[in-house]
Amino acid sequence: MVTGAGRGIGAGVAEALSREGYAVALTSRSRDQLEETAARCHGPTLVLPADMTGPGAVDLLLEQVERAWAAPEVVVANAGAGVSASVERTTDEQWQQMLDLNLTAPFRLLRRTIPAMKRAGHGRIVVIASVAAKLGEPYISAYTASKHGVLGLVRSAAAELARTGVTVNAVCPGYVDTPMTEATVQGIVDKTGRTPQEARAALEAKQPIKRLITVEEVVEAVLTCVRNGGMTGQGINVDGGGLQS
């Protein structure tokens, strides 16, 4: 099961898991985007549009997957969003939006999927976090707080499940060449008057490799988490060397 599977990293992960031989349940808010992802997959798919922050949404999604197939063996919690504002200009609504989508939704997903994985004696959970899970940057306090929180969730869950055959890891990308980063570029343009090219160059310059990370590079890290049963509780940086930990 892959959340946020309509585009960007989620779509790339879904397609890669399909190539690995998995039947893949796809969810995001846009049916059209999910259908496009499903068309690029090599094997069986379920298209399940949903808002992960909705009341009971996670339970409903898992019930649909279990009725159609079985409890998921691999769960990739990718759905997420960002917001930019200084601390004093961050509204309660923005703060809550970041916590609901980036932290509470993954928590509910783990809580719902862990019992079946424990019974099976095998499972792989991967949360797409961010380098913001480890580092504070200006103007993204709500986003950073939610990502710090979700990395803590991953580490605690991994410690609990270490002897069960279930692994829990996070992948922590830097700036990735995705629609979410394009929205960041547009935000910089709107607030600073820079050109899109200048704004994009500023993001590229934050990473030692001086370019954006590709979706494929993030997908490879996710696949490593799926394949390697000896790796759990990790926050794997895919950021061009910006955080050396």
Q: To 10 degrees, what angle do helices 57-68 and 105-120 make?
A: 30
What is the C-alpha to C-alpha distance for residues 49 and 61, in angstroms, rounded to an integer?
9
What is the C-alpha to C-alpha distance for residues 170 and 129, in angstroms, rounded to an integer?
6
What is the C-alpha to C-alpha distance for residues 179 and 242, in angstroms, rounded to an integer?
21
What is the C-alpha to C-alpha distance for residues 70 and 235, in angstroms, rounded to an integer?
28
What is the C-alpha to C-alpha distance for residues 196 and 64, in angstroms, rounded to an integer?
42
Single-letter amino acid, residue 224: T
From residue 41, how far is each of 10, 19, 95 by CA, in Å? Answer: 12, 7, 35
Long-range contacts of 87-96 (CB under 8 A, 24+ apart): 87/141, 90/141, 90/142, 94/142, 95/142, 95/145
Residue with token string 């547009």: 186
Give catalytic residues, as residue numbers: 143
- Count CB-CB contacts under 10 A for residue 122: 14
From residue 228, how far is each of 166, 224, 234 by CA, in Å? Answer: 11, 6, 12
